[in-house]
Amino acid sequence: MTSRLRYLFLTVSACLVGMLVWGAVAGRGASPDETYRHLAVYTEVLAKIKSDYVEEPDMKNVTLGAVNGLLESLDPFASYLNAEQYKQWQKSREEKKADVGLILSKKFGYLGVVDTWPESSAAKAGLNTGDFVETINGISTRDMPLAYAEVLLRGDPGTTVELSVMRVRRSEPQKITLERTVLRTPRVSAKMLPDQVGYLAVPSTEAGKAREAASALSGLLAQGAKSIVLDLRNAAYGTPEEGIALANLFLEKGAITFLQGQRVAKQSFEADPAKTVYRGPLVVLTNRGTASGAEVAAAALLDHKRAEVVGERSYGDAAQRRAITMEDGSAVILSIAKYYSPLSAKALQDNGVTPSVPVTDTGAASEDEEIEPDAPEQPKKPGEDLILKRAIEVLTKGAVASAVSPASASNPAGGEDLSTGSPNAPRPRP
């Protein structure tokens, strides 16, 4: 099966499941009678499948597939775990085992790669945003709960896991063996670029990264930086809370984001001027691996016109999640509240952050890109970084937002919730 046909198959399959469960989804916010009418349609479809399908189906699998399809249509990071899977998942979190370094979400029923952990075996194998994991140790990921995939990918350091991966530029799945290692988060890095441009790379929004960024930022200012590039590309791991703290380093007033859910009252997070370090010209870099707290920061700086955002649309994941247990011991893990951009009020999980200056990352194909089957990879030239190059052009040649006058731009101002639980959503690992 060619790559294009395979993607078409996945898309159609997802649409069929979505149609099957849409009646239940449409019941949200509807009257009780309307909700039951939609559920009646769903029940009738199940009955027709059981009585008229070409062969007698396994109704347990049919129902489970419908549940997983329903959850995926609502939240690509949601999971339904049966009682045994839930126990294994809890044990896996408590043991804090080694991992292969994949950050995943559900897409078309399979596991889609959001990003890879820096220096992990997944990163070294070249796995990238847009790839699909078809099997884990021979087990199909079709309708596999995302949280259960975490269990299978974790293990003792030095052990291996075999994956079948569908790459964007490959017509057939590729077998890859990855070693589980203890994952460590890279530190924030900073350096001076020509034209007094300071470059600040924040690899994640794990707890403590905003503090690291503040220190590195102060160092750049001490070296004479007059403008800053904040690189949030591939910062898929972390917490929205740390993203709020990161944005505050550059934004001295106004709302940074707000959190709201069906049963979670709206909570707004305001900038504290005492925590602002830099008020000068600023450009933020994003790509499809930018998620969670990094999206919170980018959205706030863009909404307030505090910075230009250069690069690709971010992935789209910033939510508060919770495991909700059922009477039989099973559990549903789903978002109970979403983080929103402060002024445009867009749910980041649904929309991501669209850059004000779009630039395609040549290192990865976009989801809509037409690619010939088995076309060779098109790696970037050594040292070539089109997104960073465009950002520097914007800083040095274009008008860039600044919180203060140019004369003082470089002077520092002084100054069971699962939102942090799962490695296969961009949040800190337990």
What CA–CA distances, in Å, run from 128 to 124, 170, 200, 342, 355? 10, 13, 23, 30, 20
From CA 430, how far away is CA 421, in angstroms rounded? Answer: 5
Q: Is the pLDDT of residue 418 over 90?
A: no
Average pLDDT, integer, range 397-424: 47
Q: For residue range 363-406, what is the model confidence (pLDDT) as tens digits?
A: 554 444 433 434 444 444 556 899 999 999 999 887 566 664 33
N- to C-terminal Cα distance for the chain? 39
Q: For the domain bounded by 189-371+385-408, which CATH number is listed? A: 3.90.226.10
Residue 139: per-residue pLDDT: 94
Residues of the chain with pLDDT > 70, as a percent, come to 79
Q: Which of 25-34, 42-51, 141-150, 201-210 has the highest mean pLDDT?
A: 201-210
Residue tagged 């990879």 (tokens): 377
| CA angle 332–419–107, rounded 5-degree value | 60
Range list of H helices, 229-281: 240-248
Q: Is the pLDDT of residue 326 over 50?
A: yes
Tokens read off for 21: 């469960």
Q: Is the pLDDT of residue 89 over 70?
A: yes
Q: Give pLDDT, residue 362.
A: 63
In 3-state terms the chain splits into helix, strand, coil percentages (rounded to 5) of 35, 25, 45
Q: How far apart are CA 288 and CA 316, in angstroms?
A: 9
Give domain limits for the chain.
3-74, 79-179, 189-371+385-408
For residues 126-149, give the mean pLDDT: 92
Strand, coil or helix: 183: coil
Q: For residue 381, give every residue at least 6 positions away whose Cβ sits within 8 Å of its Cβ, in sequence order, or none.
A: none
**Interval 325-348 mean pLDDT:** 96
At residue 42, the 3 state secondary structure works out as: helix
Q: What is the DSSP string of 84-136?
A: HHHHHHHHHHHHT-BB--EEEEEETTEEEEEEE-TTSHHHHTT--TT-EEEEE
Here the tokens at position 320 are: 């508060």
Q: What gap in Å lies between CA 61 and CA 73, rounded to an integer?
A: 18
Domain 79-179 in this protein, CATH class: mainly beta
Distance, CA of 300 to CA of 310 (rounded, Å):
14
Question: What is the C-alpha separation between 185 and 205, in angstroms, rounded?
Answer: 10
Question: Does position 97 have pLDDT exceeding 50, yes or no?
Answer: yes
Residue 194 is predicted with a pLDDT of: 95
